[in-house]
Amino acid sequence: MPPVTLPTNPVSVTVAIRTAALVGNPNVGKSTLFNTLAGLRQKTANFPGTTQEAHLAQVQSPAGPIVLADLPGAYGLSLNTNESRICKGVLTGDQSIKGFPGGKPDAVAIVVDATNVPRNLRLAGEVIALGLPTIVVVTMTDAAARKGIKIDAEKFEAALGCPVVFASGKTGKGVADVLPALARAKVAAGPLSAAHIDEWADAVYAKACTAETRDHDAVTDRLDLAFTHPILGVATFAAIMTGLFWAIFSLATIPMDAIEAGFGWLAGLVSNTLPAGAIRDLLADGVIAGVGGTLVFLPQIVLLFFLIALLEQTGYLARAAFVIDRLLKPFGLPGHAFVPLLSGHACAIPAIMSARAIPDFRQRVATILAIPFMSCSARIPVYVLLTQILFPESTMLQAVAFTGCYVLGAAAGLFTAIIARRTILKGKSPAMALELPRYQWPSLLGATKTAAARGWLFVRKAGTVILAISVILWWLSAYPKPADPDDAQRAAEVSFLGRIGGAVQPVFAPMGADRQLTVGILASFAAREVFVSTMAVQIAGTDDAEGEGVRERLTEATRDDGTKVFTPATSWAMLVFFVLAIQCLPTLVVTAKEAGGWKWAALQAGWMTGVAYVAATIVYGVASAIG
């Protein structure tokens, strides 16, 4: 094939830039650049029919406001991946984004990593060939200089036939030049066809770039040897994840307590200000309690995404995924699934959202189905209550039983994954193609912006659902009123929720539940931790499960026939049920959104409830027989 002649006559066009898209390979600093350009003025939009998302922001350029879209990272436009299909669809106008006006973007900014120009130019060639006004933004120049790579800006711009900007989203250097450059975007004459892209990319690199021969990075080699080692890599991963979750559970305590105290104060203010009646009760016990019950987990969620963003920016998460892929492969899951599964021990909602990083649809859905089996922090109050009832004299046995709950949940999740991958999600597991990015210091600002965006998404998506559920549950538990409004136990019996519990009790009888336990189980389907306070209201006449003597009264509580509510057999059955049951309606909402339809949420709810019911019934029968 004859040598490729680089374009010398790019087509200069003047267009009104209303929309622009950022495209680039994964790990080139594209999203960091977008976050710097957009600040916190951004929103997340999903592409129809997929769980991939674009981040949108309206930014002010010299030519006026521009809607800027950060598209998923892709290695090419013609590859058989969601990311490639989405990028090509957006650039050709065949794929819509909610909030992104018009068809295809008016201009494109191609982000190129200075340390890997030849490979990045292959995507750039495909984009340029679409005939859109284009600019190229070069990142990672500091790292390139350390490797002896030099890029001549004037020659690079001449070779590409479009404006070139050198910018760093991490340091902010050169970022101010990006938006003005978009106003000067040009339709460049790129490679003649797809077959010419490689000789074209090599020719551009040869004309504008030089690279000194340097020794390979020995530090990187040593780190990779440790982080990807079959034994040392797993041990390192376990240590880092233990530290991550210790930070989540310990550091989030102060803001969580502050949120609880704040909403408690607000509920008290409403109760003391408004006259007694349905409106006051609705606001204090329904609206405020519902919102507070949602936002109390916000610190854990924000901190989780902040720490994960830091780990991702350092380059470690790619190494961890490589190591864990070996352990998860027998269950039909990829290494990408380890972060969502571990995150599920804090809260299933952000964990399911983080499963978007799994490229294969079957593996992603299998991971989503498995995540709610992980014992989240909302289950802890139930575990504490039931293990103390089972072993009131031995903290050692309480700890063993508590740990067993986490082991049982994780085992059930992996069992679910392997069943799903061999039946409804059957298919060959694709080899995990994973680039190991260079190590670098993380950006605190970038991680903060990522965590803030994820936190707001949690509040906006899940908070409204929990609020509606809380109001409905409040109404069911508050009406009709008993003759004596101060008789909390009688109120629990005559309420609609209490009557429903009496009617449904025969369903839960095989696992040892009476009417009172049935009410607690039904109420807990809104949120697991509600079980403890519901039982306290019914049996102890207060919603303060930590109050003096309340746990003792729960332990000694009797049923309508005079037998104990919490027998050993019933307690074991309840413990197993709460480990395995879904009992979190907002989780189902997020599953429907992320997996691609309510059929997956219905399957998840039915499967988990069925497994929990059967397991609890078996445990009750065996424990009763043993005595």
Read off the pLDDT of residues 7-21 as tens digits, 9 standing for 90 and up. Answer: 444 444 445 678 899
Which whole number is the average pLDDT over 294-299?
73
Question: Can you give the pLDDT at residue 310?
Answer: 87
Residue the block writes with tokens 């190991």: 436
Q: Is residue 154 part of a domain?
A: yes
Task: Tell which residue, 279, 288, 280, has the closest CA to residue 467.
Answer: 288
Model pLDDT for residues 568-598, shown as the tens digit of each residue: 999 999 999 999 998 777 789 889 988 888 9
Residue 557 has pLDDT above 90, yes or no: no
pLDDT for res 235: 86
3-class secondary structure, 55: strand
Dist. CA 112–CA 125, nearest whole Å: 12
Predicted structure pTM score: 0.62
Provide the residue type at 257 as one letter: D
Q: What is the mean pLDDT of residues 284-313?
A: 76
Band of residue 615 on the pLDDT scale cut at 50, 70, 90: very high
Each residue of 314-358: pLDDT tens digit? 888 778 877 878 888 899 998 878 878 877 877 888 788 878 878
The tens digit of pLDDT for each residue in 156-203 reads: 999 898 999 998 877 778 888 999 998 888 888 777 666 778 878 888
Rounded CA gap, 322 and 334, in Å? 9
Average pLDDT on 457-461 reads 67
> Does residue 489 contact residue 541 with C-beta atoms inside 8 Å?
yes
Residue 93: inside a domain: yes
Specify whether the CB–CB gap between 214 and 207 falls below 8 A.
Answer: no
Q: Which DSSP symbol is given to 231?
A: T
Average pLDDT in the chain? 81
Q: Give the per-residue pLDDT at 600.
A: 95
pLDDT at 52 over 80: no
Question: Quick check: is 478 in a domain?
Answer: no
Residue 374 banded pLDDT, cuts 50, 70, 90: very high
For position 41, what pLDDT does the model report? 56
Higher per-residue pLDDT: 297 or 383: 383
Rounded CA-CA distance 432/436 in Å is: 12
Question: In whole angstroms, what is the distance from residue 47 CA to residue 56 CA?
Answer: 12
Residues whose CB falls within 8 Å of the CB of residue 253, separated by 6 or more in sequence, listed in order: none
pLDDT recorded at residue 4: 44
Asked if pLDDT for residue 47 goes beyond 50, the answer is no
Q: Please check whether residue 554 is in contact with residue 532, taking contact to mean a CB–CB distance below 8 angstroms.
A: no
- With beta carbons less than 8 A apart as the criterion, state whether 500 and 475 touch: no
The answer to whether residue 85 is domain-embedded is yes
- The more confidently predicted of residues 394 and 215 is 394
Q: Which residue has the higher pLDDT, 108 or 441?
A: 108
Over 70: is that where the pLDDT of 539 sits? no
The reply to whether 572 falls in a domain is no
Residue scoring higher pLDDT (62 or 10) = 62
Is the predicted pLDDT of residue 547 greater than 70, yes or no? Answer: no
Alpha helix (H) ranges present in 423-512? 444-478, 488-494, 496-508
Choose the weakest-confidence range: 60-74, 249-263, 531-545. Answer: 531-545
Q: Rounded distance, CA 534 to CA 341, Å? A: 29
Under 8 Å between Cβ of 424 and 282: no
Please check whether residue 177 lies inside any domain of the structure: yes
pLDDT the model gives residue 587 = 87
User: Given a cut of 90, is residue 133 above it in pLDDT?
Assistant: yes
Q: How many domains does the chain have?
A: 1
The encoded tokens of residue 610 equal: 């069925």
| Residue 54 resides in a domain | yes
Cβ-contact 317, 244 below 8 angstroms: no
Question: What is the amino acid identity at position 287?
Answer: V
Residue 8: the pLDDT is 44
pLDDT band, residue 469 (cuts 50/70/90): low
Contact 374, 328 (CB under 8 A): no
Report the percent of the chain where pLDDT is more than 90.
Answer: 20
Question: Is residue 608 within 8 Å of 582, Cβ to Cβ?
Answer: yes
Give the Cα separation of 575 and 582 in Å (integer). 13
CB atoms within 10 A of CB 259: 18
Q: What DSSP string describes 170-201?
A: TT-TTGGGHHHHHTT-BB----SSGGGHHHHH
Instruction: Compute the distance between CA of residue 202 and CA of residue 544 in angstroms, rounded to an integer.
Output: 70
Beta bridge pairs of residue 149:
211
- Say whether pLDDT at 384 is over 60: yes
Q: What is the DSSP letter of 310?
A: H
Identify the burial level of 463 via C-beta atoms within 10 angstroms of its C-beta, where 0-12 means exposed, 13-18 middle and 19 or more buried: middle
Nearest CA to 447 out of 104, 170, 148 is that of 170
Judged by average pLDDT, the poorest of 122-136, 209-223, 331-345, 363-377 is 209-223
Give me the pLDDT at residue 463, please.
61
In the DSSP assignment, the letter for residue 11 is B
Q: Which helix (H) or strand (E) holds 364?
A: helix 361-370
Structural domain including 181 reads 19-211
Q: Is the pLDDT confidence value at 487 over 80? A: no
Q: What is the CATH number of the domain that holds 160?
A: 3.40.50.300
Q: Scanning the structure block, which residue is given the tokens 């340097």?
A: 214
Which element (helix H / strand E) includes 618? helix 598-626
Proportion of the chain above pLDDT 70, given as a percent: 85
Residue 44 lies in a domain: yes
